[in-house]
Structure 1
Amino acid sequence: MKKVSGVFFSSVAIMLVLVLFGITMPDTLEKVTGNMQAFITTHFGWYYLLVVTFFVAVCAYFLFSPVGRIRLGKQDEKPEFSRPTWVAMIFSAGVGIGLIFYGTAEPLSHFAISSPTGITGTEEAAKDAMRYTFFHWGIHAWAIYGIVGLTVAYFTFRKGELGLISKTLRPLLGDRVDGFVGKAIDVIAVVSTVIGVATTLGFGTAQINGGLTYLFGIPASFLMQLVIVLVLTVLFLVSASTGLSKGIKILSNANMGLTAVLFVFVLIFGPTLLIMNLFTDTLGAYVQTFVNMSFRLAPFNEEGREWINGWTIFYWSWWIAWSPFVGIFIARVSRGRTIREFVVYVLLIPSLIGFIWFSTFGTAAISGENTGAVALSSLPTEASLFGLLEQYPFSLALSILTILIIITFFVTSADSGTYVLGMMTSNGSLFPSVRIKLIWGFFLSTTALVLLYSGGLQALQNTMIIVAFPFSMVIVLMTFSLIKAVNLEAREMGIGQLKKKESKKEVKVR
């Protein structure tokens, strides 16, 4: 424990208060978080839309700017992981359980229950359902992760700073990042990470419980969720003790393989032609309405605004709350990549994989609902995927495979989370002690259980929106800090001038 920082003790104290509050007064916690969530979404929805779109614009700048050639490390440094493993680790950390939880449930909900345009059950509703699902899980989400990850990677591996959120703000705050201000920023990041990861683990626990209920009639209860969390905690703590290059690497590749098996099966035995047609049509609609969706707030439509609060603002909050964890983890495994390569593989590739996934499972669910083959919309959110799989051959085996995938995603998310939290509370150490990771593993599981106990999925969503708000401001500062530092280095290296000279040479050759 000698290497831990003051951030560790401050963060632990805050989490202890939250956990004890949730255990002793669960109803009060649910009410308080509900009121705070309602206030933030009502009064600051506009802020969330503007700030996330700003992150997208900045990522686009780095993608097309000459500074994209700058490497995250020494200019001749080679990446630590192969590209397939790198992508697998990014994807597993960035979406994880959410992909399984919402793969069927979100498009189905938009189509049959609550549409973004207010129209349900029609062909147009199906198109809108897929378009907004792409919007929520696409470039905007990964831009948030990308900004945090790119900033941390640049300052850690290029500038030699400690792997802490606070240290990325040195160009703006100077030496204050080494004092109280810096520690306060890191505490906000730690608490946001714990809540964000714990929320995702809560979703995974609820879906495993929902699957067991749907398949075997095992009751959905907090006691059952407690048992699930205890078992999975043991698994991810064992994985956490093996290190980054073993546990997380092996599990990331494994769950990508298992997920691919499930995906291919549904694609082949589902409405394949409709899936491909709707994917293509939705991809075009997503590109065409990208800007409109980015700023849509429905100021004169109460029902539309309520939908935006419940879905878009919730998702932007989820990605922001999860961004310290995902961002730092992506930064850690991206050493040696160029800025341009980082942006392409963190924004575009995972988005495309997600689009294909949602097109397959979402279209299959909508098709089943639309034809009357199965009333999936009447099932609990956490059971909708299992209801869909029941319509396919080998349904029991597929459902068991799905539970196994959720478990592996749970383990990789929690394992990665303990690693990142260990880094953040051990002065940015790239190799935090096993003891620190075990302590944070305990808090992740306990926080997930407290949130489930105090209000289930709604309490998870409320808490996430609340913690995301202050950290979003930290990300804005990180973004300006990165732009300032990268542009300064580009001028010192003469990157812009070099690009102009290369262009002139190309013209002369022609």
Structure 2
Amino acid sequence: MKQVTSVFWVSIVICIAFVLWGSLAPENLGTVTGDIQGFLTKNFGWFYLLSVTIFLLFSIYLIFSPYGKIRLGKQSDRPEYNKITWFAMLFSAGMGIGLIFWGSAEPLAHFAAPPNAEPETIEAARNSLRYTFFHWGFHTWAIYTVIGLAIAYFKFRREAPGLISATFEPILGNRVNGLIGKTIDVIAVFATIFGVATSLGLGASQIGGGLAFLTDIDNDFLTQFIIILIVTVLFMFSAWTGISKGIKYLSNTNIVLAVILILLTIIIGPGVYIMNLFSSTLGEYLQNIPSQSFEMAPFDAKHNEWIEGWTVFYWAWFIAWSPFVGTFIARVSKGRTVREFVLGVLVIPSLFSMFWFAVFGGTSLKQELDGVNTGLTDLATEQALFGMFESMPFGVILTVVAVVLISTFFITSADSATFVLGMQTTNGSLNPPNTVKLSWGIIQAATASVLLASGGLEALQTASILSAFPFAIILLVMIYSLLKALKEDARRTFQKPDEKTNKNNVK
């Protein structure tokens, strides 16, 4: 533990304080954090929407800019991982378990309570999938693109510490090593700790829901606690083996299982319908991106409330998650060009995510519309996917594959989080000590367990999202800092020899 920095100890104190608050007074924590989050959502929803849209526009700009040729490392460096493994790793850390959790549940939720259509109609079904595409598409991955690119660029190109604060060196200079820099890193660690802890709790709840469908096991706290213990042992073993073994193999396994589950659902389910639905919804999504990116519906109170409860909440949640996801993506992206990085992080995961929702959300909607399974909208969120499988041939097999996939995504996310937390609290070490990683693993599991028992898990999730507001500002300033560095770098790297000679002669 000699390598840990002050960020580690400050973060531990904050973690203990919030866990005690959530376990001893969960209702009070929920009320306080909920009131603050409600205030931010109501008064600064427009800020979240504008910020995330700026992240997307900046990412698109980088694809076509001259900076796209700059490599994340020396110009002679090449990627450490092949493209399939790289994609699998960034996808597993960034979105895997969320897709399983919401794959059927979110389209069904929008179908039952749409923002601007009659509930449970064809129009509501069409809009439900389009809004789901919007929530899990380009905007979300643009957040991760910005922070991941900035960290990777400064770490591998400028050999700075792999810290979020290090990306502000062009603006702050040596002050990144002082109070301002430490504050930025503590905010990042705070969001990561509680974001992952709540995901551990929610993931355990969904695995328990799947087991309840398969067996007579009750999805109660004891079941979820045992799941957390088992998963903790597995991801700590994976963390011990290192990123090039544990996370790499798990990520590849995740992609294989995800593709198998998709193919089985298409073959057994309404395959042609799914492909037609994906094509038409993708077109509607692309057509409506400009208007949805800025939509706050000030003249429609119901629609405005829906946007605040879904879109603004999601943007805040994904921004809160971005320090964890961005740092991990940066770690596995050395040697790629800026253009390759942006295309890989922004486009491919977005399309995969949208296709995922077309398969599972689309199948669920068809079952509801056809009257095959009209009780899906009444199921708990963690049970919606399994309820859909129950009405299909070989539903038990699909449920088993889904539970295994949830588990491997679960382990991968927790493993990745321990690595990121270790990296952020050991001055950006690319290979943090196992003792530090295992310490964070125990802290995350204990936090999730205590708050599940006390009912404070959702309150802690809200507390984590509160960090999104200052972190959105941090990301906007990060764009300016990165642009400043890229401009200087491009001038040095791609300047023609005769231009350099002429400048020297002038001098």
Pick the TM interval, shorter chain. over 0.9
User: 1 CA distance for matches of 2:455 and 2:83?
Assistant: 41
C-alpha contact 1:317 1:464 (8 A) present in aligned 2: no
User: 2 CA distance for matches of 1:118 and 1:286?
Assistant: 17
Moved over 6 A (4+): none
2:80 paired residue number: 80
1:371 paired residue number: 370
1:369 Cα deviation (Å)? 0.7
1:212 paired residue number: 211
- 2:19 corresponds to which letter in structure 1? V
Deviations 1:340-372 (A, max 9, x none): 000001000011111111101111000001111
- 1:440 corresponds to which letter in structure 2? W
2:399 paired residue number: 399
Stretch moving more, 388-397 or 337-346: 388-397
C-alpha contact 1:258 1:401 (8 A) present in aligned 2: yes
Using a 3 Å threshold, how does the CA distance of structure 1 residues 301 and 464 change in structure 2: closer, same or farther?
Answer: farther
| SS class of match (2:285) | helix
1:485 paired residue number: 485
* Matching of residues 453-492 of structure 1 within 5 Å: 453-455=453-455, 458-459=458-459, 461-492=461-492
1:118 Cα deviation (Å)? 3.8
1:430 Cα deviation (Å)? 0.5
| SS class of match (1:241) | helix
Stretch moving more, 139-148 or 35-44: 35-44
C-alpha contact 1:150 1:342 (8 A) present in aligned 2: yes
Using a 3 Å threshold, how does the CA distance of structure 1 residues 224 and 356 change in structure 2: closer, same or farther?
Answer: same
C-alpha contact 2:133 2:354 (8 A) present in aligned 1: yes
User: 1 CA distance for matches of 2:236 and 2:204?
Assistant: 16
User: 1 CA distance for matches of 2:174 and 2:488?
Assistant: 19
- 2:102 corresponds to which letter in structure 1? Y
1:89 paired residue number: 89
C-alpha contact 1:19 1:450 (8 A) present in aligned 2: yes
Stretch moving more, 188-197 or 416-425: 188-197
1:461 Cα deviation (Å)? 4.5
- 1:363 corresponds to which letter in structure 2? G
- 2:419 corresponds to which letter in structure 1? Y
Stretch moving more, 232-241 or 302-311: 302-311
C-alpha contact 1:162 1:429 (8 A) present in aligned 2: yes
Deviations 1:381-402 (A, max 9, x none): 1101001111222222221221
User: 2 CA distance for matches of 1:345 and 1:478?
Assistant: 20
C-alpha contact 2:167 2:481 (8 A) present in aligned 1: yes
User: 2 CA distance for matches of 1:425 and 1:129?
Assistant: 41
Gaps of 5+ in 2: 498-507
1:25 Cα deviation (Å)? 1.4
C-alpha contact 1:88 1:256 (8 A) present in aligned 2: yes
- 1:170 corresponds to which letter in structure 2? E
Using a 3 Å threshold, how does the CA distance of structure 1 residues 378 and 456 change in structure 2: closer, same or farther?
Answer: farther
The CA RMSD measured in Å over matched residues stands at: 1.6
1:119 Cα deviation (Å)? 2.6
User: 1 CA distance for matches of 2:204 and 2:328?
Assistant: 23
User: 2 CA distance for matches of 1:430 and 1:165?
Assistant: 13
User: 2 CA distance for matches of 1:201 and 1:258?
Assistant: 20
Stretch moving more, 84-93 or 298-307: 298-307
The alignment's TM-score, normalised by the length of structure 2, stands at: 0.95
2:432 matches 1:432? yes
Using a 3 Å threshold, how does the CA distance of structure 1 residues 195 and 83 change in structure 2: closer, same or farther?
Answer: same
2:103 paired residue number: 103
C-alpha contact 1:62 1:68 (8 A) present in aligned 2: yes
C-alpha contact 2:235 2:411 (8 A) present in aligned 1: yes
User: 2 CA distance for matches of 1:452 and 1:483?
Assistant: 43
User: 2 CA distance for matches of 1:204 and 1:87?
Assistant: 22
C-alpha contact 1:452 1:459 (8 A) present in aligned 2: no
1:21 Cα deviation (Å)? 1.2
2:176 paired residue number: 177
- 1:357 corresponds to which letter in structure 2? W
* Matching of residues 170-319 of structure 1 within 5 Å: 170-319=169-318
Stretch moving more, 273-282 or 26-35: 26-35
2:7 paired residue number: 7
User: 1 CA distance for matches of 2:143 and 2:9?
Assistant: 28
User: 2 CA distance for matches of 1:266 and 1:330?
Assistant: 30
User: 2 CA distance for matches of 1:449 and 1:466?
Assistant: 22
User: 2 CA distance for matches of 1:429 and 1:462?
Assistant: 30
C-alpha contact 1:29 1:454 (8 A) present in aligned 2: no
User: 1 CA distance for matches of 2:83 and 2:397?
Assistant: 31
C-alpha contact 1:314 1:461 (8 A) present in aligned 2: no
**Identity within the alignment, %:** 53
C-alpha contact 1:202 1:460 (8 A) present in aligned 2: no
Using a 3 Å threshold, how does the CA distance of structure 1 residues 11 and 460 change in structure 2: closer, same or farther?
Answer: closer
Deviations 1:392-419 (A, max 9, x none): 2222222122111111001000000000
C-alpha contact 1:211 1:403 (8 A) present in aligned 2: yes
C-alpha contact 2:278 2:358 (8 A) present in aligned 1: yes
The count of corresponding residues between Structure 1 and Structure 2 is: 497
User: 2 CA distance for matches of 1:457 and 1:395?
Assistant: 31
User: 2 CA distance for matches of 1:240 and 1:456?
Assistant: 27
1:298 Cα deviation (Å)? 1.4
1:216 Cα deviation (Å)? 2.2
Stretch moving more, 48-57 or 202-211: 202-211
1:62 Cα deviation (Å)? 0.5
User: 2 CA distance for matches of 1:327 and 1:280?
Assistant: 30
1:23 Cα deviation (Å)? 1.5
| SS class of match (2:99) | helix
User: 2 CA distance for matches of 1:455 and 1:24?
Assistant: 10
C-alpha contact 2:130 2:281 (8 A) present in aligned 1: yes
* Matching of residues 18-57 of structure 1 within 5 Å: 18-57=18-57
1:417 paired residue number: 417
2:166 paired residue number: 167
| SS class of match (1:81) | coil
1:451 Cα deviation (Å)? 4.1
C-alpha contact 2:48 2:315 (8 A) present in aligned 1: yes
User: 2 CA distance for matches of 1:13 and 1:401?
Assistant: 40
Stretch moving more, 423-432 or 384-393: 384-393
User: 2 CA distance for matches of 1:474 and 1:223?
Assistant: 40
Using a 3 Å threshold, how does the CA distance of structure 1 residues 123 and 457 change in structure 2: closer, same or farther?
Answer: farther
C-alpha contact 1:72 1:339 (8 A) present in aligned 2: yes
Using a 3 Å threshold, how does the CA distance of structure 1 residues 198 and 118 change in structure 2: closer, same or farther?
Answer: farther
* Matching of residues 490-505 of structure 1 within 5 Å: 490-494=490-494
| SS class of match (1:115) | coil
User: 2 CA distance for matches of 1:473 and 1:415?
Assistant: 28
User: 2 CA distance for matches of 1:212 and 1:441?
Assistant: 24
C-alpha contact 2:191 2:465 (8 A) present in aligned 1: no
1:450 Cα deviation (Å)? 4.0
User: 2 CA distance for matches of 1:405 and 1:137?
Assistant: 19
1:508 paired residue number: none
Using a 3 Å threshold, how does the CA distance of structure 1 residues 307 and 204 change in structure 2: closer, same or farther?
Answer: same
- 1:420 corresponds to which letter in structure 2? V
- 1:332 corresponds to which letter in structure 2? R
1:454 Cα deviation (Å)? 4.6
1:506 paired residue number: none
1:492 Cα deviation (Å)? 2.8
1:210 Cα deviation (Å)? 1.6
